[in-house]
Amino acid sequence: MIHDQRPLLQRTSLEGIWMWSRWQPERALHFNSFYLQGEESIVVDPLAIEEEDLAALRALGGAQWVVITNRDHERRSRAAAEALGARVAA
């Protein structure tokens, strides 16, 4: 997960919480997604997911759930859920 020479999936200051972002030039801001690692791990509002992203998520234990927090965040949630074998909650 490398973009502009930095990893896309980055650990946050909270244990078990990871995030990644992608620049959206048409809106001039970064869109963010989160990975919550636990007994049943969760991907929140996934951005378009590439093979490197999937490999990194699988290395952390995969995800059982993809959570969509609002309709504007649907993005590629279904594709991420299918690739990870996860269920979707919206």
Which pLDDT belongs to residue 83?
94
Return the CATH superfamily for domain 2-89: Ribonuclease Z/Hydroxyacylglutathione hydrolase-like (3.60.15.10)
> What gap in Å lies between CA 46 and CA 33, rounded to an integer?
5
Helix, strand, coil percentages in the chain from 3-state DSSP, rounded to 5 = 20, 35, 45
| Three-state DSSP state, 9 | coil
Residue 27 token pair: 């809106």
One digit per residue, the tens of pLDDT, for the chain of length 90 reads: 444 544 578 899 999 999 988 888 898 988 899 999 999 999 999 988 888 888 999 999 999 999 999 888 887 889 999 999 999 998
DSSP 85: T
Give the residue extent of every domain in the chain: 2-89
pLDDT at 17: 97
Q: What's the confidence (pLDDT) of residue 27?
A: 86
Task: Please tell me the total number of residues recorded for the chain in this structure.
Answer: 90
